Structure 1
Amino acid sequence: MKIIPSQKMSQFEPAIFTSLKVFAKQQEKINGLSLIDLSLGSPDIPPHDILLKSMSDLSKQSSSYGYTLNGSPEFYEAVARYYARVNKVDLNPETEIVQTIGSQEGLVHLPIAFCDPGDYVLTTNPGYVAYAAGITLAGAIPYYIPLEEERGFLPNLKAIPEDVAHKAKLLILNMPGNPVPMAPSLNYFDEVVAFAKKYNIIVLHDAAYSEFYFTGDAPISFLAAPGAKDVGLEINSLSKSFSLAGARVAYIAGNAEMIAIIKQLKSNLDFGIFDPIQLTAVLALDNAEVITSSLRETFSKRHTTLLTGLKELGWTVAPSKGGMFVWAKYPYKLNSVDFAFKTIEQCGILMVPGTAFGSEGEGYVRLALVQNIETLKEAIKRLESLSL
């Protein structure tokens, strides 16, 4: 039998993450050097004890194993309470929130709900890889806004050509970002709202790292900007903020009409999340202040360790007040893919080449804050010995 993939599959290249890990395993056997993995942004800190106990107890109940069909009222009410406390944003739990099976699923499916083939989607370069996947599935056309160091890596909406803006259906932003942890401001979000209203563009703000901040003030929710709910949505996940990455639970909040359209799409794609996960997510959201404070302290110390060490080695590190990653320009004349493989070969350190996130990532690598302080210090020590 001849197996022929669809033409659309030609637009999905194998992810470089897999190639890096395969090469790393090979080098570990050859060189005997233990690996330090700073590639994948998967939290290494276990969930809080109250969440572990909740998941364990609920999973033992035989009644937990039926279909849930969609998000539970308890979950939606918890999201609304969380937004009211943390972001000072009022949400209607029945009409302004929809649950997704992790933010990746929501990000990839959302463009299908709003974009027709040929519509433009505005997003950033560099940007998270799921955005491009969703645009491709919808048959839309990406227009990439370069993130420039001299602008603090904030997307320049004024640089978007008029003809592109008029054709655009969707704008995707991510602050603090992945891979670039730029910080938003209320003034910037006001500019986004005005831009969206002028050109009739839906805004999706990816707030997956909203609980990861290193200064006294939390990142501003896009929905806190006046008029934001008129033009858009915010997607958030419990993966990073509550160390529940494997549980796959997230939500989209904002404009009620847009939420209704997403719910209609999802009713044809999937059922709801395992009930113990939903109820544990309720517990996490209602105890967010207690759970996230210790995580912030840990990640802040890791960020300082890595940032300071790289600067001492002559690297240029993007300024950051939050997020889960360090975006760094290395001082060597190699393209980012070759550099990433060389650091594995010589140092046993896995980093993601900047071009995995777009052409503007050339010369950069992304490092995830997913190792303890001593391991990060060891990584810096190993990088001192690079011979390129």
Structure 2
Amino acid sequence: MTEEFHRIRRLPPYVFAEVNAAKAKARAVAEDIIDLGMGNPDSPTPPHIVAKLIETVQDPRSHRYSTSKGIPGLRRALAAYYERRFDVKLNPDTEVIATLGSKEGLANLAAAITSPGDTILVPNPSYPIHQFGFIIAGASVRSIPAEPGEEMLRAIDRAVRHSVPKPTAVIVNYPSNPTAHMATLDFYTELVALAKKNDLFIISDLAYAEIYFEGPPPPSVLQVPGAKDITIEFTSMSKTYSMPGWRMGFGAGNPRLITALTRMKSYLDYGAFTPIQVAATAALNGPQDCVDDMRALYKDRRDTLIKGLHAAGWDMPSPAGSMFAWAPIPPRYAHLGSLEFSKLLMEKAKVAVAPGIGFGEYGDSHVRIALVENNHRLRQAIRNIRHFLATDSTVPSDEIAMEDGQ
């Protein structure tokens, strides 16, 4: 009876737990840790959304069980969003489902469509649920490159030809968490053609669709003609409307996949609390100035962070979308790997970031920095990091070895 349970054995130790433990320990002794680790929006939910929640919750009838698929008005609101934003028409009865955040939707879809031993193609690095939702469901995961383009398409083609059993689905997530990669409609067009040719489902995570700073708005894969035949796409209210704790998301697309997810959820939950669904409907149908304000806020923070860290001697690409900077570890510290570098940064600079190894082994040369503090705190973090980089006496292990050899 001491042996670990089978599904738990398939899950590695949660990397972020080490950083979280170090953060809690530091805060317990009153150290001021600037937390840029978790992608947890700090802005308040727009007042008109909160007001609708309060109004609805005062109706006693709203406290009864809801429906796991989502109330009809909310599903219609999501379909209307897709039509005005992407020019994609969805049937709210058969092609839309409300979920308890996109993470729950992804996990329950994996449970609904996966047989033990199935092969799923997942970008590496990527958000953990993309991989582990399917691993928990009994699948094997094959890594493909994270950046959208020819290299990823070639990797999918190789996987189809050489994997046993043949892959059943491919995951995409653009704008990407953690890498901030962006996809074009041309890429999605090629992806859909390749997936159709090889009988693959496409599972798209579009949670960051409204966080973009340059160029055209990020597209949906469902814009590609015929994509709906093989695609389900997940979106979320968390980042777009600063509603992370409300746990409100959606799946949209292929009716067969929506039906499978609906059936799975019908056994597991009664849906989100009805007042939350009504407030989410008000968010989707109401004024969208708050979304523009959110986008401008993250752009301003991005510019502050990138400019400041460049001046401090830490070069990193400026993300064109998402709420994250995907930062290569400075060469001097590359030998440490992302977990040890993250712990060192917290100890010396009092700044918490997410180690890239937590998103897959190919992320170990980077850390993820979330834009979840105001500019005052970001500038404080930059000052701390600048001081750390200028004064730290850590010597890379290869230099130590060279000195010992002399």
TM-score, structure 1 normalization: 0.94
CA distance in 2, matches of 1:309, 1:23: 25
Q: Please, what is the CA RMSD of the aligned residues? A: 1.8
Rate the CA distance shift 1:358–1:288 in 2: closer, same or farther, 3 A: farther
Are 2:202 and 2:232, in contact at CA under 8 Å, matched by a contact in 1? yes
Shift of 1:203: 0.3
CA distance in 2, matches of 1:9, 1:330: 31
Letter in 2 for 1:68: S
- Tell me the SS of whatever aligns to 1:365: strand
- Tell me the SS of whatever aligns to 1:177: coil
CA distance in 2, matches of 1:264, 1:228: 22
Q: How many residues align?
A: 383
Rate the CA distance shift 1:10–1:42 in 2: closer, same or farther, 3 A: same
Letter in 2 for 1:213: Y
Name the residue aligned to 1:377: 379
Shift of 1:181: 0.6
2:256 paired with 1:254: no
Correspondence list, 1:91-240, <5 A:
91-147=90-146, 156-160=152-156, 161=158, 162-164=161-163, 167-215=166-214, 217-240=216-239
CA distance in 2, matches of 1:85, 1:155: 32
Name the residue aligned to 1:362: 364
Name the residue aligned to 2:341: 339
| Percent identity (aligned) | 35
Deviation sequence 1:263-289 (CA, Å, 0-9, x none): 111111211111100000001111262
Deviation sequence 1:249-302 (CA, Å, 0-9, x none): 111000112211211111112111111000000011112622200000000101
Are 1:120 and 1:140, in contact at CA under 8 Å, matched by a contact in 2? yes
Rate the CA distance shift 1:49–1:216 in 2: closer, same or farther, 3 A: farther
Are 1:127 and 1:358, in contact at CA under 8 Å, matched by a contact in 2? yes
Name the residue aligned to 2:23: 24
CA distance in 2, matches of 1:368, 1:219: 20
Deviation sequence 1:97-123 (CA, Å, 0-9, x none): 011111111111212222211111001
2:355 paired with 1:353: yes
Shift of 1:19: 2.3
TM-score, structure 2 normalization: 0.90
Letter in 1 for 2:274: D
| Structure with max Cα Rg | 2
Name the residue aligned to 1:53: 51
CA distance in 2, matches of 1:146, 1:165: 19
Shift of 1:60: 2.0
Are 1:28 and 1:35, in contact at CA under 8 Å, matched by a contact in 2? yes
CA distance in 1, matches of 2:301, 2:164: 40
Q: Which stretch has the larger CA shift, 8-17 or 129-138?
A: 8-17
CA distance in 1, matches of 2:377, 2:362: 29
Rate the CA distance shift 1:167–1:316 in 2: closer, same or farther, 3 A: farther
Are 1:330 and 1:364, in contact at CA under 8 Å, matched by a contact in 2? yes
- Tell me the SS of whatever aligns to 1:142: strand
List alignment gaps of at least 5 residues for structure 2: 395-406
List alignment gaps of at least 5 residues for structure 1: none
